[in-house]
Amino acid sequence: MDLESTWRYAPPEDLLADRVVLVTGASEGIGRALALAAAAAGATVVLLARDLAGLERVYDEIEDAGHPQPAIFPLNLETATFKEYEALAATLAGEFGRLDGLVHNAGWTSGLTPIRHYEPERWARVVTVNLHAPYLMTHACMDLLDASGDPSVVFSLDRCTRAFWGAYGVAKAGLEALMKILAAEERGIRFNGVDTGPVRTRLRVENYPGTKPGDVPEPDAVLGPYLFFLGPESQGVTGQVVVRKP
């Protein structure tokens, strides 16, 4: 399949049947929309974010729709230690024995600021959420991914190496490098990325408060590449980035 066409991808109803898929940042925005879509496609979705109340709302939405029962794992990516990621992997191993899909979607900017005025502590916090956390989680879950017959890891990328994006822009550039290195090293797991461009999420509205409904797509409109990469039709595709052109 031409990867550009995945923005219009219409997944089969059973695309992710019997698959276990972990989505970070699942309490809102693209993470929430993807969790609902993956559950509708048959996946058992592990919902991860720091907002427990938000995760519980998404959990209820999935349950009310009659989809496979999801799981909740609240975790603050800003402060989590590697032992906490190991505990996550151990919990998943005990509950499911494997991980078929991992979506690194959580992101945080803390606002747009010139690097000259970036406080070092703030820089470290933003880089931790957007780069260190995906590395630590992937590292902890490698054995679980190996236990799947068709494992896939998808990164939410953002090519925003523009003025004022600071630590977020640097971290996202590093995240794409991490994805490509993993894809080159690992033959049994595929690693791909999705750059949705501007989408109406909290991150977007916080940084562009003048954004109005209809100015940019809603999260539901940008899920095609994620679902394609998570499903069996993307077997053999790795190290690729799909970028939406506004």
Digit-by-digit pLDDT tens for the chain (246 residues) are 789 999 999 999 999 999 999 999 999 999 999 999 999 999 999 999 999 999 999 999 999 999 999 999 999 999 999 999 999 999 999 999 999 999 999 998 888 899 999 999 999 999 999 999 999 999 999 999 999 999 999 999 999 888 998 999 999 999 999 999 999 999 999 999 999 877 766 666 566 566 666 677 788 999 999 999 999 999 999 999 999 987
Examine residue 114 and state whether it is found in any structural domain, yes or no: yes
| CATH of residue 65 | 3.40.50.720
Is position 2 within any domain?
Answer: no
Range of the domain at 226: 14-243
Residue 6 in domain? no
Helix, strand, or coil here: 80? coil
Record the tokens describing residue 219, joined without a space: 């999260």
SS3 content of the chain, % helix, strand, coil (to 5): 45, 15, 40
Q: Which of 7, 2, 1 is nearest to 195 (CA)?
A: 7
Query: Is beta strand 101-104 parallel, antiparallel or unpaired with respect to 20-24?
Result: parallel
- For the chain, the straight-line distance linking the first and the last C-alpha, in angstroms and rounded, comes to 21
Element (H, E) at 193: strand 190-195
pTM of the model: 0.94
In a domain, 134, yes or no: yes
Residue 5 resides in a domain? no
What backbone torsions phi and psi does residue 86 show, to the nearest 5 degrees?
-65, -35
Domain count, the chain: 1
Which one is catalytic: 59, 85, 168, 226? 168
Q: How far apart are CA 92 and CA 87, in angstroms?
A: 9
**Does some domain include residue 81?**
yes
Which of the 8 DSSP states describes residue 6?
G
Is residue 8 domain-resident?
no
Asked if 118 is an active-site residue, the reply is no
Any domain includes 28: yes
